[in-house]
Amino acid sequence: MTSTQGQPHVTMDEITALAKRRGFIFQSSEIYGGIGGFFDYGPLGAILKRNVKDAWWREIVELRDDVVGFDSAIIMHPNTWVASGHVAQFHDRLVDCKNCRHRFRADHLPSLEKCPDCGMRDTLTAPRNFNLMMQTSIGPMEDSAARAYLRPETAQGIFVNFKNIYQSARKKPPFGIAQIGKSFRNEITPGNLTFRVREFEQAELEFFVPDDGNDLAWYEQWVSARKRWYSDYGVNEDRLRFYELTPQERPHYAKAGIDVEYLFPWGWGELESIAHRGTYDLQAHMQLSGKDLTFFDEAGKAKYTPILIESSAGMDRTALTMLIDAYRSETIVDAETRKETNRVVLGFHPKIAPVQVGVFPLARNKPELVERAKRIERELRPHARTQYDEGNVGQLYRRQDEIGTPFCVMVDYQSLDDGSVTVRDRDSMRQDRIDATQLRAYLAERL
């Protein structure tokens, strides 16, 4: 599918097929017919998602001196979810059809009079609350005392550890705590590949600031920082928007909130939420646990509850966005024959690309070429994500374009004579001939 005004530049069918064909994303437990809302990442998808997470972690934790990293357990004390409001409020309203027994989200139906699947009238039940938290039980007894939840967000692990962390890390507000980890939600309507799933990874930053009048300025700073991050990694600005929530759309305690949205093939979808949450979360845990989570300010000799600025991004959704955003299908003309062909390219940012450099011999039946290409690939391996491959030259380039490899190194007969190789640029398809000893420096500059 080519890009035209107002039309998506790719369909979800094309992305799903490419994701499977090249080993980015597979349906979980496919040999048993799959299981709805769960996906596995293939060899390239696992690296893609890791690169997205590393890019987030580097920016949010490693390159700052006011954010510390953290990693909490998936299962927490059940009271956590009482204090956070998830037990009472984390619901979807569902209706069942008494005829076909299908279940629907009430807010997804145009009317409650007619079943959208079997078409029968007056067969839908009144809406009932369905809690989205996944349950499990701890230990051998399956009674209610053993009931626990798989966390629906990673943030609560940070809140309940607030004091442990600021004391051990010797931090004082303004400072942040960041973590990346799995979350689980029993979504009623999972769909659009990894966009809405039941097991996913979140990257959450909880930034605590003093109540000194600068809280909104901190919020704005984080919104700008997150805008910069998406733009640094090349997400097309025309397909990204920062939607400001109205007071009616945000929780009563939140002073401001923004949803970061991407224009997916089916429409706008949320990638991340950034919110000014006031003191709500720490207060809620103090109230239920009876423990003090305030901060003692030595200078002012007073305790206070810090204000919280949150940035919460879905790593599966971000990886999917990178995949979709990078996709282009284009017609190319062979310089010599003038023949037109089509190529699919994933124009990944070099830091996100699962493979950064492909290395091939011009002919796989010439041992000198094969040996030289393998040696070059081995030598580059500690410095870049490399892949050795061999076969038909056109197909080799086509495959690397389709997995988004920014550079391909070709070892040919001239390489054996003078030690040079050609380096092909994915986007311009330009080929530079350079000395193999210069390869590392050449690639380092461009990756």
202 binds ligand GAP (CB under 6 A): yes
Q: Which two tokens stand for residue 68?
A: 């510390």
Is residue 22 within 8 Å of 44, Cβ to Cβ? yes
Within 10 angstroms of residue 255's Cβ, the number of other Cβ atoms is: 15
Please tell me whether residue 281 binds ligand GAP under the rule CB under 6 A.
no
Q: Would you put residue 349 in left (φ > 0), alpha (ψ -120 to 50) or beta?
A: beta
Q: Nearer Cβ to ligand GAP, position 97 or 315?
A: 315
At how many degrees (to 10) do helices 43-57 and 315-326 cross?
110
Angle at 81 between CA 147 and CA 276, to 5 degrees: 160
Please state the closest distance from residue 23 (CB atom) to ligand GAP, in A.
21
In degrees and rounded to multiples of 5, residue 46 shows phi and psi of -65, -40
Among 311, 312, 321, 420, which residue interacts with ligand GAP (rule: CB under 6 A)?
Answer: 312
- Using N-to-C axis directions, what is the helix angle for 367-380 and 439-446, rounded to 10°? 50
Closest separation between CB of residue 269 and ligand GAP, Å?
A: 9
Residue 215 lies near ligand GAP (rule: CB under 6 A)? no
CA distance 362 to 142: 63
**Token digits for 301?**
């000799």
Minimum distance from residue 42 beta carbon to ligand GAP (Å):
18
- Return the C-alpha torsion angle 29, 30, 33, 34, nearest 10: 60
Whole-number Å distance between alpha carbons of 198 and 132: 9
Q: Per CB under 6 A, does 262 bind ligand GAP?
A: no
Of the residues 59, 92, 261, 272, which one makes contact with ligand GAP according to CB under 6 A: 272
> Within its chain, how far is the Cα of 63 from the centroid?
20
- Does position 273 bind ligand GAP by CB under 6 A? yes
Query: Between residues 317 and 372, which has the closer beta carbon with respect to ligand GAP?
Result: 317
Min dist. Cβ of residue 311 to ligand GAP (A) = 9
Q: Which residue is nearest to ligand GAP (CB)?
A: 314
**Among positions 197, 240, 345, 384, the unique one binding ligand GAP when judged by CB under 6 A:** 197
Contact residue for ligand GAP among 96, 220, 270, 402 (CB under 6 A):
270
Q: Cα separation of 164 and 190, whole Å?
A: 36
Helices then strands, each counted (H, E), the chain:
13, 23
Residue 200 makes contact with ligand GAP by CB under 6 A: yes
Q: In the complex with ligand GAP, which residue's Cβ is closer, 135 or 438?
A: 135
Instruction: List the one residue from 124, 271, 319, 322 that touches ligand GAP (CB under 6 A).
Output: 271
**Interface of this chain with ligand GAP, residues 219 to 238, rule: CB under 6 A:** none
Given the rule CB under 6 A, which of 100-108, 192-200, 334-342, 377-385 is the region that contacts ligand GAP? 192-200
The distance of closest approach from Cβ of residue 104 to ligand GAP in the complex, given in angstroms and rounded to an integer, is 17
**Of these, 22, 226, 285, 317, which contacts ligand GAP (CB under 6 A)?**
317
Q: Which of 92, 215, 261, 316 binds ligand GAP (CB under 6 A)?
A: 316
Give me the least distance between CB of 248 and ligand GAP, in Å please: 17
Tokens of 334: 């062979």
- Closer residue to ligand GAP (CB): 99 or 186: 186
What whole-number distance in Å separates Cα of residue 332 and Cα of residue 342?
6
Q: Which is nearer to ligand GAP, 256 or 439 (CB)?
A: 256
Q: Cα–Cα distance between 143 and 295 in angstroms, integer? A: 38
Taking CB under 6 A as the criterion, the residue among 14, 54, 96, 187 binding ligand GAP is 187
x-or-dash string of contact with ligand GAP, 143-182, rule CB under 6 A: ----------x-x---------------------------
Helix-helix angle 12-21:315-326, to 10 degrees: 100
Whole-number Cα distances in Å, 157 to 164, 190, 240, 313:
11, 25, 30, 16
Q: At 296, give phi and psi (nearest 5°).
A: -95, 115
Q: Does 400 bind ligand GAP (CB under 6 A)?
A: no
Distance separating alpha carbons of residues 291 and 80, to the nearest angstrom: 13
End-to-end CA distance of the chain: 29
What track of x and - describes contact with ligand GAP for positions 9 through 48 (by CB under 6 A)? ----------------------------------------
- Count the site residues for ligand GAP by CB under 6 A: 18
- Say how far apart CA 115 and CA 97 lie, in whole Å: 6
User: What does the binding site for ligand GAP look like in residue numbers (CB under 6 A)?
Assistant: 153, 155, 185, 187, 196-197, 200, 202, 204, 270-273, 312-314, 316-317
